[in-house]
């Protein structure tokens, strides 16, 4: 498929040689089968979504893990917030962009995660990007899992601390990095709580033990675990019975907790106060809109009142995994609602995803550079929003398409 006609590219108001180069690179992506096409949802995020391009589909690819995006109490929280606080802040926080509701949400997050304090950002991307550079200098070391999220990688790039990237979840490699950095003032170990492309849970007790032995700061990005793991959705620390044992937690309000824009860093009072002073994604960009803060508060309230949502998510995940294996698929094993099935080549994963869409199931294929070459996959994500009937529909389509393409 030709993406752009030469006449259109050359006729653009943008510099012709530049525009032609960009168009040619996109054409290359298209020819390699790795060009992403955006699909358009018409309505609320939920178990079933209406796609402009494919009609009604069972949604197996959202981070709406406990199904709070369309819960009336949460939507009403946003609506009331907009009525009370208007459209937005029109200022960064340290000038006139901080609302009472920001403080209330931050206290609530700290309470929920059992930390002393928390600070919100417009996204967890911004929380991670603004985390390391203020807290660490070239006197320090930053030790990071090789498969950490892109926002962590970018945050690390902005920081002058000595970098050590350890092999994914390899405790010997982590210990080695800790040994080699003993002359540094501070050693900060950074890991995702749940790795989004594998659905694996970081071995937090072992990492904590190493951090204790080498006097290092343990930082966890719990974006795929907040609202998801543990009996009440308090994340990876709750999963391991390690409340209050993580030095710094970053996470998102944009996944399980209602899916709106927002993220946060939760830690001790001094660490949070330091970020207020120095974190650049706090100082030079607006806070999350007050209505989003209201929605996030409503989401946390709802989850606390309805821990059975977390249990339902677990039951749905067990059901889906079990049946997927019975069909002959070989998903990456794990205890999270992220259920990836490795297909191999990127184009094959994209084809599988495309044919599933035709069968009324919304699943996305991921290839290089999001995951390593040759490990392209489809990633199924289960939600408490699903009823068994939805999961059965998805499994039936996976059966049909999986056989047709020779995956099972
Ligand atoms: C999704 C995600 C983020 C980004 O969250 P946003 O709030 O959408 O910016 C950061 N870290 C991890 C591990 C994530 O999965």
**Percentage of residues of the chain with pLDDT beyond 90:** 91
Say whether 36 is catalytic.
Answer: no
- pLDDT value of position 377: 93
d(CA 99, CA 84): 11
- Mutation probe of ligand 1 site: the residue of 147, 151, 287 with most atoms within 8 A of C-beta: 151
Which of the four pLDDT bands, split at 50, 70 and 90, describes residue 34?
confident
Q: What is the pLDDT of residues 350-400, one digit of tens each?
A: 899 999 999 999 999 988 888 888 999 999 999 999 999 999 999 999 999
DSSP letter for each residue of 285-317: SBPPPHHHHHHHHHHHHHHHH-THHHHHHHHHH
Ligand 1 atom closest to 221 (CA): 13
Range in 90-104, 196-210, 339-353, 374-388 with the lowest mean pLDDT = 339-353
Q: Which long-range contacts (CB under 8 A, 24 or more apart) does 94-101 make?
A: 94/276, 94/282, 94/283, 97/286, 97/287, 98/287, 99/287, 99/290, 99/293, 101/290, 101/293, 101/294, 101/297
Q: How far is the CA of 62 from the centre of ligand 1 (A)?
A: 13
Ligand 1 atom closest to 149 (CA): 13
Q: Residue 346: pLDDT above 90? A: no
Ligand 1 atom closest to 193 (CA): 13
With beta carbons less than 8 A apart as the criterion, state whether 29 and 333 touch.
Answer: no
SS3 122: coil
d(CA 364, CA 34): 12
DSSP letter for each residue of 309-363: HHHHHHHHHHHHHHHHHHHT--BPP-SSSEEEEEEESHHHHHHHHHHHHHTTEE-
Q: How far is the CA of 103 from the centre of ligand 1 (A)?
A: 22
**Candidate list 255, 291, 386, 390, residue with the active-site label:** 255
Q: What is the pLDDT of residues 100-110, one digit of tens each?
A: 999 999 999 99
Is the C-alpha dihedral spanning 316, 318, 320, 326 positive or negative? negative
Among protein residues, the one whose CA lies closest to atom 1 of ligand 1: 223
DSSP state of 240: T
Q: What is the mean pLDDT of the chain?
A: 96
**How many DSSP H helices and E strands does the chain contain?**
16, 15
d(CA 316, CA 392): 11
Q: What is the pLDDT of residues 245-301, one digit of tens each?
A: 999 999 999 999 999 999 999 999 999 999 999 999 999 999 999 999 999 999 999
What number is the average pLDDT over the span 395-406? 96
Say whether 164 is catalytic.
Answer: no
Which of the four pLDDT bands, split at 50, 70 and 90, describes residue 36?
confident
Angle, nearest 10°, between helix axes 290-305 and 72-85?
Answer: 150
* H/E element, 110: helix 100-113
Q: How far is the CA of 18 from the centre of ligand 1 (A)?
A: 32
Q: Residue 136: pLDDT above 90? A: yes
Residues in the chain: 408
Say whether 179 is catalytic.
Answer: no
Give CA separation, 87 vs 82, 269, 288, in Å: 6, 30, 11
Q: Residue 33: pLDDT above 80? A: no
Q: What is the pLDDT of residues 304-337, one digit of tens each?
A: 999 999 999 999 999 999 999 999 999 999 999 9
With beta carbons less than 8 A apart as the criterion, state whether 180 and 216 touch.
Answer: no
- pLDDT value of position 345: 87
With beta carbons less than 8 A apart as the criterion, state whether 164 and 301 touch.
Answer: no
Residue 182 has which token pair?
């003993």
- pLDDT value of position 300: 98
Which residues, judged by CB distance below 6 Å to any ligand atom, belong to the binding site of ligand 1? 123-125, 128, 149, 151, 192, 196, 221, 223-224, 252, 254, 263
> Shortest CA distance to 386 belongs to which of 49, 103, 110, 50?
49
Give CA separation, 275 vs 19, 129, 146, 282, in Å: 40, 12, 25, 8
- pLDDT value of position 291: 98
What number is the average pLDDT over the span 336-350? 91
- pLDDT value of position 260: 93
Which of the four pLDDT bands, split at 50, 70 and 90, describes residue 347?
confident
> Shortest CA distance to 263 belongs to which of 241, 278, 285?
285
Q: Residue 1: pLDDT above 90? A: no
- Mutation probe of ligand 1 site: the residue of 156, 190, 196, 223 with most atoms within 8 A of C-beta: 223
- pLDDT value of position 64: 98
**Candidate list 123, 196, 223, 279, residue with the active-site label:** 196
Pairing of strands 117-121, 263-267: antiparallel
């Amino acid at each position: 498929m030709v993406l752009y006609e030469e006449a259109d590219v050359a006729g653009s108001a943008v510099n012709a040689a530049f525009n032609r180069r960009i168009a040619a690179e996109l054409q290359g992506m298209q020819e390699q089968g790795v060009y992403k096409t955006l699909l358009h949802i018409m309505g609320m995020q939920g178990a079933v979504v209406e796609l402009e391009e494919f009609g009604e589909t069972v949604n197996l690819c959202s981070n709406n893990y406990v199904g709070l995006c369309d819960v009336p109490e949460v939507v009403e929280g946003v609506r009331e917030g907009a009525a009370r606080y208007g459209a937005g802040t029109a200022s960064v926080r340290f000038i006139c962009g901080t609302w009472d509701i920001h403080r209330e949400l931050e206290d609530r997050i700290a309470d929920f995660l059992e930390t002393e304090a928390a600070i919100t950002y417009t996204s967890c991307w911004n929380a991670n990007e603004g985390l390391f550079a203020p807290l660490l200098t070239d006197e320090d070391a930053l030790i990071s899992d090789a498969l950490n999220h892109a926002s962590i990688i970018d945050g690390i790039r902005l920081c002058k601390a000595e970098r050590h990237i350890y092999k994914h979840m390899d405790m010997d490699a982590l210990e080695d990095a800790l040994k080699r950095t003993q002359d540094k003032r501070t050693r900060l170990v950074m890991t995702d709580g749940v790795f989004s492309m594998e659905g694996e849970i970081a071995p937090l007790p072992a990492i904590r033990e190493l951090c204790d032995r080498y006097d290092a700061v343990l930082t966890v990005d719990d974006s795929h675990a907040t609202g998801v793991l543990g009996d009440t959705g308090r994340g990876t620390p709750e999963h391991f019975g390690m409340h209050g044992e993580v030095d710094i937690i970053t996470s998102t309000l944009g996944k399980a907790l209602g899916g709106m824009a927002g993220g946060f860093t939760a830690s001790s009072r001094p660490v949070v106060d330091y970020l207020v002073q120095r974190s650049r994604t706090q100082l030079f960009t607006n806070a999350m809109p007050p209505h989003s803060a209201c929605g996030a508060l409503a989401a946390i309230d709802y989850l606390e009142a309805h821990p059975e949502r977390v249990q339902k998510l677990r039951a749905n995940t067990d059901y889906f995994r079990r049946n997927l294996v019975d069909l002959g698929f070989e998903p990456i094993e794990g205890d999270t609602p992220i259920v990836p099935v490795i297909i191999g080549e990127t184009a094959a994963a994209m084809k599988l995803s495309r044919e599933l869409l035709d069968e009324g199931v919304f699943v996305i294929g991921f290839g290089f550079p999001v995951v390593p070459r040759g490990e392209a996959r489809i990633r199924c994500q289960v939600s408490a929003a699903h009823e068994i009937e939805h999961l059965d529909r998805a499994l039936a389509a996976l059966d049909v398409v999986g056989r047709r393409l020779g995956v099972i």
